[in-house]
Amino acid sequence: MTAAVLAVGVLIGSVQQTGLPLRDPLNWWLYMMETGTEVMLPGTLPLVGSPFLQQSMPYSGFPGSPAGLIIDRSAPPGWERGGETRLSAEGTVACEILNLDGETETRAGGTGRIYASILPGLFIDERLSLWTGSDELPPDYFSPFHQGSEKGRHLYVDWGYLRWSGGPVAVSFGRIPQRWGPGRFTQLLLSDNGPPLDMLRIELRILEDLEFTGLTATVDSDSGTYLTAHRLDITPTANLRIGLSESILFKAGSLDFAYMNPVIPWYPVQWNERDDDNAFICLDASWKPVPGLETYGEFLIDDIQYENDGNRPDKLGWTTGLSGFLKPLGLGAVIEYTRIDRYVYSQRRPCNFYLHRGEIIGSGLGPDADRATLSLGTAAAWPVLAEVTLEHTRHGEGTVQEGWPDSVAAGGKFPSGIVEHTSGVQIHLGWYPSDFLEVHGMAGNEWVRNRGHVTGESDNRFDTSLEIIYRW
């Protein structure tokens, strides 16, 4: 077994979790490591801080790869191979300067994280972030879990939870980031596009090739809005993983124990026993015909009009992608396409819009849009990582907030109305000279046609940035 396989195997060991958020550049390379080996990543990421690195792994023997750094970043603070962390802390300090279409902006911030192992299998993990920016945004790569819009300083609880793991069962309670599905650039049902949810989460390994995940979360405790979701991950063969998921967003005076029941299908409950709640069904899969090549996809059903007396449109979303990795050259590539129909994530009742603190719980692309992405990266010059991304997005006039009007009918064009077209190219370089220091440089250009859905309105924007992150 190669060191690369060992590295990925540790990341998805008995508890099958990693702490890398979607916006972290190393997350791209985590998926490349999966593509280049015989190991399959789980369908649920990330659950940060899980103490699964308790043994020595010879990842340093994998040249031209960020494997060792990925393992370190996914581990609890202060972890030691072969030992067990009791109480430890870590943090980051980040400074960034940007030139955004000719305007200079500055951003700075820091994080502080505490990890405490209370008993064997029981621990607490918490991280706070404090940041400020002249454009009211945080530094790009240090704190991706909150992108608040309030003016002034920003202090957030990025995550904080208690977790117990005992053999095939694990229970977590608290604020936990979530990402379900294999998409490299977006996920349709649950993603870390919005802030983490406060939840009770249960994981169960039913069989060696069958795993269950279920959660109940508060979306807005003041208004009594909740989200429940459950999922089965099936691995029928070593190179194929299939995920079946369902979620319900609903408003209630108290917790609904029918929706909290993790072992029954919720769609018939919602259809026959409840009011008009917002229900979703999702199927995703990853398949590797050979090491070094992987195809994946996700299919979201918000609504299918199987009794369509009013000529209503279906509400569907899907993602398909292909990933390749040439390990001898340290070269990887991903091509991905996502389409989300108009009215997806919307609902008749505004309280059931699929939003958390104004952000879509699913894909940040939003409804009435599609996007094609091509990304190329190389680790051949490690500790320098290079990535080039080309992207084209079409966005119609539909939004989540428009709801589900009674007058809506099938047959309209996609995307709808005056379509905004956005094409972009971005070059990112990351330099990791040590475990404590990283430097990021970015240059990108974006072309927009029909900006703001106004015919003929165009824009051309060139951005650059330089960011330094110190970890302690």
Token pair, residue 268, equals 């018939």
The pLDDT of residue 15? 38
CA distance 143 to 392: 26
Q: Which residues pair with 287 in a beta bridge?
A: 240, 295
Burial class (CB in 10 A: 0-12, 13-18, 19+), 472: exposed
Q: How many CB atoms lie within 10 A of CB 105?
A: 16
Task: Identify each DSSP E strand in 305-436 by its residue range.
Answer: 315-326, 331-340, 355-356, 359-360, 369-378, 384-395, 420-431
Nearest to 348 by CA among 453, 252, 249: 249
**Which residues, including other chains, have CB under 8 Å from residue 223's CB and lie 6 or more apart?**
251, 351
The pLDDT of residue 34? 86
3-state DSSP helix/strand/coil % of the chain, to nearest 5: 10, 50, 40
Burial class (CB in 10 A: 0-12, 13-18, 19+), 237: exposed
Place of tokens 């700075």: 108
Domains of the chain: 3-471 (2.40.160.100)
Helix (H) or strand (E) holding 159: strand 154-166
Write the DSSP symbol of residue 437. E
Q: Which residues pair with 429 in a beta bridge?
A: 386, 441
Helix (H) or strand (E) holding 296: strand 293-303
The pLDDT of residue 299? 98
Nearest to 203 by CA among 220, 225, 178: 178
The pLDDT of residue 412? 84
Strands 369-378 and 359-360: unpaired
Provide block-wise average pLDDT over 10 residues at a time, the chain (472 residues): 46 46 83 86 71 34 62 68 70 94 93 88 89 88 68 82 89 92 95 90 90 93 88 94 95 81 81 82 96 96 80 92 91 97 93 92 96 95 94 97 87 92 97 91 97 94 96 88
Token pair, residue 350, equals 């505004």
